[in-house]
Amino acid sequence: MSKQIEILARDTVYDGFLRVDRYRLRHSLYAGGVSRTLVRERVERLRAAAILLYDPDQDCVVMIEQFRIGAHETGAGAWLLETVGGYVPPEESPEAVARREAMEEAGCEVRETELIGEFYLSPGTSVERITLYCGRVQAPASGTLHGLDHEGEDIRVEVLAASAAIDEIFTGRVNSTTAIITLQWLAANRDRLRARWSASTGKG
């Protein structure tokens, strides 16, 4: 199969906090030929980074809780337990954003990072890709408040034992994609990471 796409028209239908474009297109079919004309809306200009903050000496993770409009009226409520993260502007790298957001949202200086991976969040409706990291930090006190006023952020830090945080995947409290993936990765890599990062404590 020759995978081809023909864009017939593209129009911006909304340009605010997010930009949404509407496409009229046709694409190749597995059975041969070309599809009928399809109309699809896509959220544009999204690139993100997130980082799971891990303290290997205390064997704990630093997570944040904040309001999320997407969770309003669904599940357990609009305040989610998450990893630190943010959108990546063109002039910054994903790792630089992850390090900056760790300080802004949790008051943590990231001493080392390890790349977890990169993936599309919702390719049926959005271009958004996210790069995930794990970062070595010294855990702050739980309950501290952070966030930027001009971005409308109201963020509470929560420090959990690594095993307790991993268990929250199965209780339903951890219920966002990036938090689930990073904690599952930590469960698989925790012993290796703890041995390596504990040995390098103080070397920044």
- pLDDT score of 27: 96
Q: Quickly state the pLDDT bin for 45 (edges 50, 70, 90).
A: confident
Q: Are 47 and 189 in contact (CB under 8 A)?
A: no
Quick: pLDDT tens for 155-175: 889 999 999 999 999 988 888
Q: Which residues contact 34 (CB under 8 A, 6 or more apart)?
A: 4, 6, 26, 27, 28
Query: Is 151 noted as a catalytic residue in this protein?
Result: yes
| pLDDT > 80? residue 76 | no
Residue of 41, 151, 153, 168 with catalytic role: 151
Predicted confidence at residue 203, as pLDDT, reads 47
List, in order of start, the domains of the chain with CATH numbers: 5-44 (no CATH), 47-199 (3.90.79.10)
